[in-house]
Structure 1
């Protein structure tokens, strides 16, 4: 049976598959795109795990790749169970439907609370941590009114706008996205709020491991998850350099509708929202602006995941590594400038399966860089 697959209602992973998936995504140099490529090529996470050391060596790695052990994955599954949490796979019914449509969607998310909330159409609400009174009141009003219309409200559990949005949507359903592990919530003053969220109609999710303390570089990853789960993103207040603008950029990249609340040009907290409006974001002064724009999207069938071409049983030819001449031809076609994989295939004349396999080798060796839009480049210094 193939690891990934879902119909209209989704297909649950077996416990054996869930363990293997967790091991694979927790192994060195395996991100969401690499995970999907490995599954596509080898047919299952278990088969991919066996090949990781060999693929890394062929990609030119100077040291052995760290492959997550069964014991490590079992400990994380046990930690989740103790916390009352679980891991949801990308093809399963409770995986957020809009999230699975984006490039590089996490194959597994850790979740605690009411999983069904994650399947509702969602509006992201983000903004300044140092929010004004008017800003927090408006965020709460939007969260309450949009939530009553059947949308989940998703935000990042931060101070200010995030907190106001979560509190106002506790009854209708809210989703908190964490930058660290589910057992390492941040900021500490919102731990009680998180308990209210997960103890009621809400949900907390993250793609980070249990025990992971959030660092500054983890918050953009959290912001990407917010933008991926949401159908639209409302920015209430945002300074010139802020995480909210990063989230808005992700949302635009994913084809989401970005809403922004105008504010005084004399207030630095309104620089970001006024800038977004000038760049084409939807000027928003009431919930109707949001509901009218999201109504057509929320009726779309987003549940069916992207199709993944997965061989049930890879052929011997699929498993054969390319010879050194072919590998060198593919590697030499890469440089520090990002290019499309299709361009590599056309340039080299190599079969697509061979090109993708060499890219996996380079990725696992830590030499490949993946960029938005599926572009790739190579680190020439390695």
Structure 2
């Protein structure tokens, strides 16, 4: 670990150049007589010998506090090959949880921190069949779609990985500390390139996003505004040669604008989980659990239900579309809500999920 710490703390040596040095000079590069011939300045050579030493003890102390804490250098056997193939991959990864989850086939799921009702439902509905097909779900532990993705994977009996934009001893956001502990206990892991004691800083999150996409075979964007961290993850995925998937939405929904733009740019439109699985050779459609078709149920008030969609629809608008009195529509909507066909949400009603 010490040589990689030295590289990380030498000015003017980024991950790409550090890996080039390692590749050129071999695993014992720091002892190589050729180091002086690699174009490094005298100041850099001096930093390689001294700049990293104070960090070693606190890092080893953090690792020793739990048996499931690991520090992976770029050349470690457990460093995930999928990420290692990405130019500029982190020189050091800090992991808390099961190392065995890291090399498994992963699908990243990202999206808005403030998803709509439709975004939440899409996340909850798409994750279980991905888990059934053997996918590990990777996300960023943020509130919103990230958190819903981790929760849906756990509820489906799956494994999920969380890549943090802070150190692993400074779990962010704090409200997801229990979720983080649960995903570790169910065979997943927390991952970060930040030192364990580092807090969540703005420049950490784009770096986190490139790890999320780098670990995964493909990235699914559930909901995203025109400018969002989710689109940064999608851009990294494209640059890394990963598949990008997006769920379309109504043009009136600002949270759908980013996804619609991605689809225009070549991302695959997703309507169900098979749209994702069929593009990734790591998964076999045969692995998906086949569920028997449900017996068709007669719709109550079909003319009314036809005018209640997955996005909030105001009562006045429903009544206008059905050409029925508002009071009568309200009464029927209450009946439908009690029967589980619709749900009341801010702004009106939406169709309810019926398992």
Normalised to the residue count of structure 1, the TM-score between the two structures is: 0.67
1:35 and 2:18 equivalent? yes
* Secondary structure class of the residue paired with 2:21: helix
* Secondary structure class of the residue paired with 1:169: helix
Query: 1:226 and 1:48 mapped to 2: Cα distance?
Result: 34
Select which of 164, 171, 179 maps to 2:148.
164
Contact 1:126 1:244 in 2 (8 A): yes
Select which of 62, 65, 86 maps to 1:79.
62
* Secondary structure class of the residue paired with 1:98: helix
Query: 2:122 and 2:259 mapped to 1: Cα distance?
Result: 14
* Secondary structure class of the residue paired with 1:153: strand
Contact 2:9 2:47 in 1 (8 A): no
Residues 1:49 and 1:209: Cα distance change in structure 2 (over 3 Å): farther
Contact 2:219 2:245 in 1 (8 A): yes
1:269 and 2:255 equivalent? yes
Contact 2:161 2:188 in 1 (8 A): yes
Unaligned runs of 5+ in 1: 1-17, 300-382
Match of 1:293 in 2: 279
1:192 and 2:175 equivalent? no
The 5-angstrom pairing of residues 116-127 of structure 1 reads: 116-127=100-111
**Greater shift after overlay, 81-90 or 150-159?**
81-90
Instruction: For residue 284 of structure 1, report the CA deviation from its aligned partner.
Output: 0.1
Match of 2:217 in 1: 231
Match of 2:121 in 1: 137
Instruction: For residue 184 of structure 1, report the CA deviation from its aligned partner.
Output: 1.5
Residues 1:26 and 1:144: Cα distance change in structure 2 (over 3 Å): farther
Query: 1:242 and 1:152 mapped to 2: Cα distance?
Result: 24
Residues 1:90 and 1:143: Cα distance change in structure 2 (over 3 Å): farther
* Secondary structure class of the residue paired with 1:190: helix
Match of 1:25 in 2: 8
Contact 1:80 1:210 in 2 (8 A): no
Instruction: For residue 93 of structure 1, report the CA deviation from its aligned partner.
Output: 3.9
Contact 2:3 2:30 in 1 (8 A): yes
Instruction: For residue 55 of structure 1, report the CA deviation from its aligned partner.
Output: 5.7
* Secondary structure class of the residue paired with 1:88: strand
Query: 1:183 and 1:95 mapped to 2: Cα distance?
Result: 21
Residues 1:92 and 1:69: Cα distance change in structure 2 (over 3 Å): closer
Residues 1:218 and 1:277: Cα distance change in structure 2 (over 3 Å): same
Deviations 1:265-316 (A, max 9, x none): 001000000110111110001111111111x2569xxxxxxxxxxxxxxxxx
Instruction: For residue 141 of structure 1, report the CA deviation from its aligned partner.
Output: 2.1
Match of 1:178 in 2: 164
Residues 1:24 and 1:50: Cα distance change in structure 2 (over 3 Å): farther
Contact 1:39 1:48 in 2 (8 A): no
Contact 1:19 1:74 in 2 (8 A): no
Match of 2:294 in 1: none
Query: 1:80 and 1:27 mapped to 2: Cα distance?
Result: 23
Query: 1:123 and 1:50 mapped to 2: Cα distance?
Result: 42
Residues 1:35 and 1:278: Cα distance change in structure 2 (over 3 Å): same
Query: 1:212 and 1:241 mapped to 2: Cα distance?
Result: 26
Match of 1:283 in 2: 269
Residues 1:276 and 1:180: Cα distance change in structure 2 (over 3 Å): same
Residues 1:165 and 1:35: Cα distance change in structure 2 (over 3 Å): same
User: How large is the RMSD of aligned CA atoms in angstroms?
Assistant: 2.6
1:155 and 2:136 equivalent? no
Match of 1:102 in 2: 86
1:205 and 2:191 equivalent? yes
